Structure 1
Amino acid sequence: MFSHFLTTVRLCASQTPWGPRPFSTTSVLEAGYKMKSHKGAKKRWRSAPGLNSFKRGQAFRSHLNASKSPARLNRLGNTAYSTPAQTHKLRKVLLPYGSG
C-alpha cells in the first residue's frame, strides 16, 4: 500500500532532487558534521569596511556609572576595533568556511 514511500533514490553527494548544489559540500560530508559560527562572537562583533578588522562596543558602560569618572565614561563610549591577532581568530570563528 505504501511501497512507493519506501523506495529511495541514491543521489551523488553534489546532487539534490532539484539539481546540483551551488557550492561544494565534500569536506562537510567527509567530516560528518557541519562547523558552526560562534553565536556569542556573532552578536558582539561586526565587520569593519573591507573585512580588514572587526568592531564592537565597549563593555562596562551600561550601568553603575555614578562611580566612574566622566573621562572613563567617554572612553567606554568609543568603538573598539580588533587587533590583527583577534581579526585572524574572528575570521575563523565567524566564517568557518571562508568568506566566499
Structure 2
Amino acid sequence: MSETDVIEICRTSIVTLVFVMAPVLVAMMVLGTVISVFQAVTQISEQTLAMVPKVLLVFGLSILLMPFMLGELRSFFEHEVADRIVAIGTGAVSVPNAGNLPGGGG
C-alpha cells in the first residue's frame, strides 16, 4: 500500500462524508436563514428561537435519513476499505517495510 493509496482512501472518505452530511447541512443553513430573517423582521433576539428549531431539524433529519446515511457508509467501507484490507491480507498488495511490523515477513 503506497502513499497514493492512502491519499485516495482519505480523499474518498472526505467525499463520502460530505455526500452523507450535505442534506442535513443544507437544510440547517436554509432554516438558519429563515429564522434570521424572521428575527430581523420582528426584532426578536431570543437565542432559543434560533437554536431549538435547528436542533429539532438535525435530530429529525438524522432519523429520517439514517437508512441513506448508513447505506452510503456501508457501501464505502465494503468497496474501499474492506477490499483493500483483503488485498493486503492475501498479499495482492505489497506493504512497504513489512519486515518492521510485528509478525511481518522479517
The answer to which structure has the higher helix fraction is: 2
TM-score by length of 1: 0.30
| Structure whose residues are more often strand by fraction | 1
